[in-house]
Structure 1
Amino acid sequence: MALLSPSISALRRLLSICETYASEHGLRYNVSKSELLVFKVGKAKPVHVPPVTINGTALKIVSKFKYLGHIINEDLRDDDDIERARRALAVRCNMLARRFARCTVEVKIALFKAFCQPLYTCALWVAYTRRAFDALRVQYNNAFRMLLALPRYCSASGMFADARTDDFPSVLRKRTASLMCRVRESDNSILKAICGQADGAIAAHWEHVHVHVSSAPVPWRKYAK
């Protein structure tokens, strides 16, 4: 469970409600697995953060944490999560190349689509550097070359076209479009209000992914109001 609050006092009130509910239902929160993250405002961060407790124990303050597999950090940038995706992709690719080296090309392509293309939470990446983005793109291309035993410097666009397989920008566009459709079809009033802003940050990011995903990413602060 994640709690979001604009202030320490409001967060303490939310936690108090949670503690009351847990006590009434015979439950108890695990303090050792609970953490507190304070987001930066621009480049500024509070020098002193008042303690926030659960069951009388102060929560550990961290600069980043993993929530449902997605890494969130204090400056709301996605470089850490992109690096997580790159490492996971490298592990899966090495496993496939080692175990299925003697399979046919058709089988290898099917395995690549099943294990390497689902870039988990990639549709949520908004604030990232060109370096992190390019590192994942290169890893994706090299994974396909390694699996199919293609020359190291062969054309990336050519090899994906010949194999009738989505390249890296296509995967991002499809994942983002899928998220966009699900958000717009949601019955949640908050999600509807956010995605309904034609000039908002989310709409700007979705447009950028579909138009400029193969070029340098637009600075995320451009979206800030």
Structure 2
Amino acid sequence: MKVIYLAYRDWAMPVYETVAKHPKVSECLLCKTHKELLDINLSEFDLIVSCGWSEELGEDITSKIEAIGVHCAELDRYSYGTPIQLQIIDGITRTKHRVFSFTYDKDSKRAHTHNRLYSHEVDLDLSGNMTDILEQMTVTSKVLFNRYLDDYPNIQWKTWDAEDIVRPKRKPEDSCLTKEQFIKMDTEQLYNFFRCLEYPYPNGYIEDEKGKLYIKNVSYKRKDIKK
């Protein structure tokens, strides 16, 4: 089978080789931008594998070729963008990493995961710094795509439960904490806020009338945990 691999994030690039080396894959074309994708003759390929892709593919793409991606959340409320940051801020330390069906629905507010279909899943630990989490994203993406390709084309699709709760996608300006917000948060909440905004994301900062204090990296030790 011939595959188009969509990726541009640093953590997603090492996954390309895993997909390209799969026994069922005869050709794997790396594509890093939506413009590059639009220039490809999709009829010559069987599948799009996206990894960390943030743009909608659009109906022009999804109507012509099957597409999949990976989604790092278990609950439907985190299907609208920035799922890692939102889950960490909400205090979640254990979640799922899933292969999802990449579709297009103009009436859906979800980001890519419009039909809520997924095929394979593994556990994902959100308790570390962003470096730790993104390393896991790389490894688990390799596992998930290998499992998907192993089973292809006999994929068993499941549907995750819908929720009325929506956690809207975070914006760069949400990285700001005022002094008033800061003093209302406990140390664990502050840790979660700043660690989910470590590189490569817009760093969290505290702002007052004098300027902005950026917090690029954090560590935390709970008082009730002894080593």
**TM-score, scaled to structure 2:** 0.22
Task: Give 1 or 2: higher strand fraction.
Answer: 2
Structure showing greater Rg: 1
Higher helix share: 1
Q: TM-score, normalised by structure 1?
A: 0.22
